[in-house]
C-alpha cells in the first residue's frame, strides 16, 4: 500500500510537468497579452512593462526561468493584483474555497446518499419519482440561476440572511452559498446512488444474504450500501477537487474571496503567472484526490488491493 | 507671475463654508460607508494601477494630490494651498500646506511629490499610466531610460515646503492632471524603510482622509479615518468598505438588503427597473466618455472612402440606440468630445439627425456613387468585444445599415483579443469607447491624431494634426478652445468615425447620504460623504 502510494506520487511528477508545459505555451499562443487593453500603450511604456516582467526574452528562456522559480516554490507576482504574489493569493483564497466547498460536499453527501438509497428501495413508487424528479430539476437548473434567487428570497425579500459578503466566514454568510453550491451535487449524488443501489440489490450475493434469512435492514446496511458507494466514490475525487477550488459563479454572486474566480479572471486578463499558479495548484489537487479515491476503493472493496 | 485661478479659490471658500455646516451635523456613532465597486484594486502603489474607475475611488480616498476634488468634481486646493504660474505657462510653483501629514504623523513634503513622480516614471516601475505625466519636463526621456530620474522637471525647495515644476510646453490642463492618481505623492520615508513591502497593510502610510486598514483580496478593502489628516475633524465617516462586486446584479440585491450604501456602475439593462422601484436611489448623469465605432481609413478598406463613411453615419439612428436599445441608459452622440468637457463647446456632425427618409435617400446615393450596388454589395467586417451591450448595439447598427445594401459580418472577441486585432488594423468597423483621463478635449481629440496608438482606424489628416499642434502651444484658453473645436470639425466633416453614444454615470446611492453628487468625471471622494440624521 505504501509502495503503491509512493509510486503514484512519483508518477504525478511527470504528469504535472506535462500539464505545466502545455499550459505555459498554450497561454503564450493565445492572442493578446497581459498589457493589451482598451488603451493602446505608448511603445516606450510597453517596452518598460515587457522588460519588468521578462516578456522581452525569448520564449524558451521565459519557460526555463519560470520552471526554475517554480522549483524554488516561487509562483512569481501576479500581473494584475500587484500587491500580492500568486502564492499569497492562493494562500488567502484557498481556505475560503475549501470551507465553502467542503461544507457543500458534506451537505450533498448527507442529503444525497439517503435520498438515493430511499429512492432505490422504493423503486418506481411515488417517493422515487418525487426524489428523482427533484434531482433532475436540481441538475437542470444551473447555479447562476439558483444563487440569485436564493439571495433575492432569503436576503432581500425575507431578510433572514445576508444577500452576500463573506464577513470572515460567519455562519449566516455561509448558508446561502453552501446551499447554492450543493444543490447540483445533491442531485448528482442521489441519482448515482440510486442507480448503483438498484444494481447491487439485484446481484447474487444480496439474494444469498436474503436466503440466509438476514433481515432486510441487515441486508441493506451490511451488504448493499458499501459496494453501492463505489461509483459515488470515484465521482467524488474529481468532484471534490472541482468544488473546493471554488466556483466562479457562486463567488461572484455572493462576493466570496475564494480562488474560483482566478481560473477565469486570470485567463481573461492574460495574467500569465496567476494562470500558471492556479493550473499547477488544481493539477496537483486532482492528482491527490484521485489517489485518495483509489486508496478509499480498497477500503470499500476487499477485492481491490494495491500490494505490489 | 500669474496668480492662480479665481475659480479655484472661490471653490475653496465655498467648500469650507459647506464644511462648517457639515461639521455641525457630525454624528457621534461610528459610521461606515459600504461601497460596491466593480473590480479589484491593482495596487496601493499608484504607479502599478491599471486604470479602472473603481481604482480611482479607493485611491482618492486614501491619497491626496496637490489639488483634490470637491463633491461636484471640481479641482480645489489639496496638499498645495496656492501656486503661481509663470508668464510662459511652463513653470508652476506650488506652496504646500503646513499641516500636511502622512498617516504616521510625518510631514508631507515637496520631496515626497518629486520622489513619487520619479518612481512613476522610473522604467523599472513599468507604470502603464506614466505617460500622463509626460507634460513635465524630461518625463518621457526619463521614462524611456535615456535620462536619470533626477533630470525630471520637479524640484523641492524651501526645505520641502515648495514644489517647483517645469513643463515641456504650456499645458492648459496641467492643474486638472494633478488631481489624477498618477500625480499623488509617495511616502519616501516609508519606502526607504520597507522597500517594496511599503504597500503591505502593516507598513503603508497615506496622506488622504482615510488610511488602508485591511485588504481581503477579491472581497473587501477597508479604510479608516486618518487622524493625521489636516481636515480630519471635518471628515464625517469613520471608515469605508469597498466591496468587490463584479456580479452587478447580485450587488443590486445586496443594496436592496441594506448591505451596501452605494453601487458604482449598475448594469444599464436594470436602469428602468431601478428607476421604477428605487427612484430616490437611482442616479444617472452625463459622463465624460464617448461610445463610438472606429472606421478603418487605411488604404484598401471600403471605409477609406469618405462617401461610405458619410453614408454609414447618416443612417445610424442614435436616438433609437439610446432610447430603445439601451433603454435610456446612454445619451445619443453626434461628436467625439462629449458635453461637460471644460472650456469646450459640443460640436455636431452634419446631417446625421433630422428627417430619416431624406438621410436614407442621401446615404443610398452615396453608396451607389462609391460603386456599390445589388451586384456588388458593400461588405463590412464589424468587430466588437464580447458583452451583451456591445452585441445589442452591433446587431442594431447592422440592421440600420441593411437598407443601404450593406452586408455586415460580425466578429466578437474578448476585450484583450479585440483591441489587439483592431490595433493591427484587421477590420472595417470596430467598437471602441473612450472615458476621459482628465477633463480636457485634447484627451479625446488625440484619438484621431495620426500615428497615435489609440487611433485604431489610422485616420491621417495633416490639417487636423496641425490644429492640434497649434492648440498645444496656445496659452490663451479661448483661442485654444477655438483651435480644438476647429480640429474636431475637420474630423467630423471627414466622417472619421461613427460617434454613437455618450456614456453616463450610473450609481445607486442610499438616499440617506449627503455630500455625494453626480459629476461628469464620476469622482466621489468619501471625505465629503455623511449620513443624514
Q: How many CB pairs under 8 A join A and B?
A: 158
Average pLDDT over every residue of B47-64: 88
In angstroms, the separation between the Cα of residue B427 and the nearest Cα of chain A is: 16
Between CA B37 and CA B496 the distance in angstroms is 35
Q: CATH homologous superfamily of domain A94-259? A: MetI-like (1.10.3720.10)
What is the structure's pLDDT at A214?
87
Least confident of B162-171, B434-443, B499-508: B434-443
DSSP B4-48: PPHHHHHHHHHHHHHHHHHHHT--SS--EEEEEESS----SSGGG
The verdict on a CB contact (< 8 Å) between B256 and A156 is yes
Query: In chain A, which residue's Cα lies nearest the Cα of B256?
Result: A156
What value does the mean pLDDT take over residues B66-81?
94
* Closest residue to B419, CB basis, from A38, A44, A166: A38
Every domain of chain A and the residues it spans = 94-259
Find the range with the poorest average confidence among B3-7, B203-207, B504-508: B3-7
Distance (Å, rounded) from C-alpha B343 to C-alpha B335?
Answer: 16
Q: Are B304 and B296 in contact (CB under 8 A)?
A: yes
pLDDT digits (tens, 9 = 90+) for A65-89: 999 998 888 888 888 888 888 998 9
Q: Is the pLDDT of residue A308 over 80?
A: no
Please say whether the beta carbons of A233 and A248 come within 8 A.
no
Give the pLDDT confidence score for residue B228 in this predicted structure: 96
DSSP string, A90-150: HHHHHHHHHHHHHHHHHHHHHHHHHHHHHHHHTTTSHHHHHHHHHHHHHHHS-HHHHHHHH
Distance from the Cα of B92 to chain A's closest Cα (Å) equals: 26
Name chain A contacts of B257, Cβ cutoff 8 Å. Answer: 155-156, 159, 162-164
How does pLDDT run across B337-359, given as a tens digit for each residue? 999 898 899 999 998 888 999 99
Residues of B whose CB is below 8 A from A45:
126-128, 130-131, 143
Whether A155 sits inside 8 A of B253 (CB atoms) is: yes
CA distances from A130 to A93, A108, A133, A145, B214 (A): 38, 18, 5, 22, 48
Q: Do B143 and A45 touch (CB under 8 A)?
A: yes
Q: How high does pLDDT run on average in chain B?
A: 90
Instruction: Please tell me the distance in Å from B197's CA to the nearest CA on chain A.
Output: 9
Residues of A in contact with B432 (CB under 8 A): 38
Which residues in chain B touch residue A51, judged by CB atoms under 8 angstroms apart? 123, 126
Rounded CA separation B509/B516 (Å): 8
**CA dihedral for B389, B390, B394, B400, sign (positive or negative):** positive
Selected for mutation to probe chain B from A95, A163, A269, A274 (highest B CB count within 10 Å) is A163
Q: Give B2's pLDDT tier (boundaries 50, 70, 90).
A: very low
| Cross-strand pairs, B376 | B373
Q: Is the pLDDT of residue B61 over 60?
A: yes
Taking an 8 Å cut-off on Cβ atoms, the answer to whether B42 and A80 are in contact is yes
One-character DSSP codes across A11-74: HHHHHHHHHHHHHHHHHHHSSS-TT-SSSPPPHHHHHHHHHHTTTTS-HHHHHHHHHHHHHTT-
Average pLDDT over residues B113-124: 96
pLDDT at A58: 92
Report domain extents, chain B. Answer: 36-212+220-236+517-531, 286-504
CATH 3.90.76.10 fits B36-212+220-236+517-531, yes or no: yes
Residues of B with Cβ-Cβ distance to A36 under 8 angstroms? 416, 419-420, 423
Question: Distance from B371 to chain A by nearest Cα, in Å?
Answer: 34
Please list every residue in chain A whose beta carbon sits closer than 8 Å to the beta carbon of residue B142.
none
Q: For A99-117, what is the mean pLDDT?
A: 93
Looking at B147-270, list the stretches that DSSP marks H as alpha helix, in order from N- to C-terminal side: 174-177, 188-194, 248-256
Name every chain A residue with its beta carbon within 8 A of the beta carbon of B244.
255
Q: Look at residue A307 in the predicted model and tell me its pLDDT.
A: 60
The pLDDT value given to residue B29: 56
The pLDDT tens digits for B120-141 are 999 999 898 898 999 999 999 9
Q: Which of A147, A162, A270 sits opposite B257 (nearest CB)?
A: A162
pLDDT at B173 over 70: yes
The pLDDT assigned to B269 comes to 84
Q: What mean pLDDT, rounded, does chain A reach?
A: 87
pLDDT at A183 over 70: yes
Task: State yes or no: pLDDT of B11 exceeds 60.
Answer: no
* H helix intervals, B295-355: 306-314, 318-319
Which of B129, B130, B245, B247 is most worth mutating to test chain A (most A CB atoms within 10 A of its CB)?
Answer: B247
Closest CA to B263 of B5, B473, B57: B57
The listed range with the strongest mean pLDDT (A4-18, A265-279, B285-299) is B285-299
Identity of the residue in A36, A40, A48 whose CB atom sits nearest the CB atom of B123 = A48
User: If we measure between CA atoms, which residue out of B115, B111, B82 comes closest to residue B97?
Assistant: B82
pTM value is: 0.84
The three-class DSSP label of residue B482 is: helix
Do A165 and B259 lie within an 8 Å CB cutoff?
yes
Residue A218 is predicted with a pLDDT of: 87
User: What's the pLDDT at B12?
Assistant: 40
**In 3D, which of A7, A71, A47 has the Cα closest to residue A306?**
A7
Identify the pLDDT of residue A38. Answer: 67
Q: What's the fold here for domain B286-504?
A: Dipeptide-binding Protein; domain 3 (3.10.105)
Nearest chain A residue (CA) to B254: A163
Q: Among all residues of chain B, which has the CA nearest to that of A86?
A: B217
End-to-end CA distance of chain B: 47
Residue B375 has pLDDT above 60, yes or no: yes
B143/A163 touch (CB, cutoff 8 Å), yes or no: no
- Closest residue, chain A, to B386 (C-alpha): A268
Whether B250 and A82 lie within 8 Å, measured CB to CB: no
Report whether pLDDT(B69) > 70.
Answer: yes
B19 band by pLDDT with thresholds 50, 70 and 90: very low
d(CA A30, nearest CA chain B) in Å: 9
Contact A63, B156 (CB under 8 A): no
| Predicted pLDDT at B429 | 97
Whether B419 sits inside 8 A of A32 (CB atoms) is yes
Which candidate from B42, B218, B250 shows the least CB-CB separation from A253?
Answer: B250
Which chain A positions have a beta carbon within 8 Å of B143's beta carbon?
Answer: 44-45, 48
A32 has a pLDDT exceeding 90: no
Decide if A41 and B45 are in contact by the 8 Å CB cutoff: no
Report pLDDT for B333.
Answer: 96
Residue A3: its pLDDT value, please?
A: 84
Between B191 and A165, the more confident residue is: B191
Residue A299 has pLDDT above 80, yes or no: no
Distance CA A216, CA A198 (A): 15
B233: pLDDT confidence band, cut at 50, 70 and 90? very high
Task: Give the lowest-confidence range in A165-179, A237-251, B304-318, B506-520.
Answer: A237-251
| Residue-wise pLDDT tens digits, A284-294 | 888 888 888 88
The stretch B461-466 carries a mean pLDDT of 96
Amino acid at each position: 500500500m505504501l509502495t503503491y502510494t509512493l509510486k503514484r506520487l512519483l508518477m504525478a511528477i511527470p504528469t504535472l510537468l506535462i500539464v505545466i508545459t502545455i499550459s505555459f505555451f498554450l497561454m503564450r499562443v493565445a492572442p493578446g497579452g497581459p498589457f493589451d487593453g482598451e488603451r493602446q500603450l505608448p511603445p516606450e511604456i510597453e517596452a518598460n512593462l515587457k522588460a519588468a516582467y521578462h516578456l522581452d526574452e525569448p520564449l524558451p528562456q521565459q519557460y526555463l526561468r519560470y520552471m526554475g522559480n517554480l522549483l524554488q516554490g516561487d509562483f512569481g507576482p501576479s500581473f494584475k493584483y500587484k500587491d500580492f504574489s500568486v502564492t499569497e493569493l492562493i494562500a488567502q483564497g484557498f481556505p475560503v474555497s475549501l470551507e465553502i466547498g467542503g461544507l457543500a460536499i458534506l451537505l450533498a453527501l448527507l442529503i444525497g446518499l439517503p435520498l438515493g438509497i430511499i429512492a432505490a428501495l422504493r423503486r418506481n413508487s411515488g417517493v422515487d419519482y418525487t426524489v428523482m424528479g427533484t434531482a433532475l430539476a436540481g441538475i437542470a437548473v444551473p447555479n447562476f440561476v439558483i444563487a440569485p434567487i436564493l439571495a433575492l428570497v432569503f436576503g432581500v425579500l425575507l431578510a433572514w440572511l445576508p444577500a452576500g459578503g463573506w464577513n470572515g466566514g460567519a455562519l449566516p454568510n455561509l448558508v446561502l452559498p453552501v446551499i447554492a453550491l450543493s444543490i447540483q451535487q445533491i442531485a448528482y449524488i442521489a441519482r448515482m446512488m440510486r442507480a448503483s443501489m438498484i444494481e447491487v440489490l439485484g446481484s447474487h450475493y444480496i439474494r444469498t444474504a436474503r436466503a440466509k434469512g438476514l433481515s432486510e435492514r441487515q441486508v441493506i446496511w451490511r451488504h448493499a450500501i458499501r459496494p453501492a458507494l463505489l461509483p459515488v466514490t470515484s465521482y467524488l475525487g474529481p468532484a471534490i477537487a472541482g468544488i473546493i477550488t471554488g466556483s466562479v459563479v457562486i463567488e461572484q454572486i455572493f462576493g466570496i474571496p475564494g480562488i474560483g474566480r482566478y481560473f477565469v479572471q486570470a485567463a481573461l486578463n492574460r495574467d500569465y503567472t496567476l494562470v500558471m499558479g492556479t493550473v499547477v495548484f488544481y493539477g496537483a489537487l486532482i492528482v491527490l484526490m484521485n489517489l485518495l479515491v483509489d486508496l478509499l476503493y480498497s477500503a470499500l472493496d476487499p477485492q481491490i488491493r494495491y500490494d505490489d | 507671475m500669474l496668480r492662480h485661478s479665481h475659480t479655484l479659490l472661490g471653490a475653496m471658500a465655498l467648500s469650507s463654508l459647506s464644511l462648517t455646516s457639515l461639521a455641525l451635523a457630525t454624528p457621534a456613532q461610528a459610521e461606515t460607508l459600504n461601497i460596491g465597486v466593480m473590480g479589484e484594486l491593482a495596487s496601493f502603489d499608484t504607479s502599478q494601477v491599471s486604470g479602472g474607475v473603481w481604482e480611482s475611488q479607493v485611491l482618492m480616498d486614501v491619497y491626496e494630490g496637490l489639488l483634490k476634488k470637491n463633491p461636484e468634481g471640481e479641482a480645489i486646493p489639496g496638499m498645495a494651498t496656492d501656486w503661481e504660474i509663470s508668464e510662459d505657462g511652463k513653470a508652476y510653483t506650488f506652496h504646500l500646506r503646513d499641516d500636511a501629514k502622512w498617516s504616521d504623523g510625518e510631514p508631507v513634503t515637496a520631496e515626497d511629490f518629486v520622489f513619487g513622480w520619479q518612481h512613476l516614471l522610473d522604467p523599472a516601475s513599468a507604470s502603464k499610466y506614466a505617460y500622463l505625466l509626460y507634460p513635465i519636463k524630461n518625463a518621457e526621456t526619463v521614462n524611456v531610460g535615456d535620462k536619470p530620474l533626477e533630470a525630471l522637471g520637479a524640484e523641492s525647495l524651501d526645505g520641502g515646503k515648495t514644489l517647483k515644476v517645469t513643463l515641456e510646453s504650456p499645458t492648459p490642463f496641467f492643474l486638472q492632471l494633478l488631481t489624477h492618481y498618477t500625480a499623488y505623492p509617495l511616502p519616501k520615508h516609508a519606502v526607504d524603510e520597507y522597500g517594496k513591502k511599503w504597500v503591505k497593510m502593516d507598513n503603508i502610510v497615506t496622506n488622504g482622509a482615510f488610511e488602508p486598514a485591511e485588504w481581503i483580496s477579491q472581497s473587501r478593502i477597508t479604510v479608516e479615518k486618518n487622524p493625521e489628516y489636516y481636515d480630519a475633524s471635518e471628515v464625517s465617516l469613520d471608515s469605508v468598505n469597498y466591496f468587490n462586486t463584479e456580479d452587478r446584479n447580485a450587488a443590486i440585491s445586496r443594496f436592496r438588503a441594506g448591505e451596501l450604501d452605494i453601487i458604482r456602475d449598475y448594469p444599464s439593462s436594470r436602469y428602468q427597473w431601478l428607476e421604477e422601484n428605487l427612484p430616490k436611489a437611482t442616479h444617472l448623469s452625463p459622463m465624460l466618455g464617448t461610445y463610438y465605432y472606429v472606421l478603418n481609413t487605411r488604404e484598401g478598406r471600403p471605409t477609406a472612402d469618405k462617401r461610405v463613411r458619410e453614408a454609414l453615419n447618416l443612417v445610424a439612428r442614435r436616438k433609437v440606440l439610446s432610447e430603445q436599445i439601451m433603454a435610456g441608459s446612454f445619451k445619443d452622440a453626434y461628436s467625439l468630445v462629449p458635453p461637460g468637457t471644460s472650456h469646450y463647446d459640443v460640436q455636431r456632425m452634419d446631417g446625421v439627425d433630422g428627417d430619416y427618409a431624406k438621410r436614407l435617400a442621401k446615404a443610398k446615393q452615396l453608396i451607389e456613387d462609391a460603386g456599390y450596388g445589388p451586384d456588388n454589395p458593400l461588405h463590412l467586417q464589424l468587430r466588437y468585444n464580447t458583452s451583451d451591450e456591445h452585441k445589442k448595439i452591433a446587431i442594431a447598427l447592422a440592421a440600420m445599415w441593411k437598407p443601404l445594401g450593406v452586408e455586415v459580418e460580425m466578429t466578437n472577441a474578448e476585450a484583450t483579443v479585440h483591441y489587439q486585432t483592431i490595433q493591427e488594423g484587421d477590420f472595417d468597423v470596430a467598437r471602441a469607447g473612450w472615458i476621459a483621463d482628465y477633463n480636457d478635449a485634447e484627451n479625446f481629440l488625440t484619438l484621431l491624431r495620426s500615428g497615435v496608438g489609440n487611433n485604431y482606424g489610422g485616420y491621417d489628416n495633416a490639417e487636423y494634426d496641425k490644429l492640434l499642434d497649434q492648440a498645444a502651444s496656445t496659452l490663451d484658453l479661448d483661442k485654444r478652445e477655438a483651435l480644438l473645436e476647429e480640429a474636431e470639425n475637420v474630423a467630423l466633416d471627414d466622417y472619421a468615425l461613427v460617434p454613437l453614444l455618450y456614456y453616463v454615470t450610473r450609481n445607486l446611492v442610499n438616499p440617506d447620504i449627503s455630500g455625494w453628487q453626480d459629476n461628469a468625471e464620476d469622482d466621489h471622494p468619501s471625505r465629503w460623504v455623511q449620513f443624514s440624521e
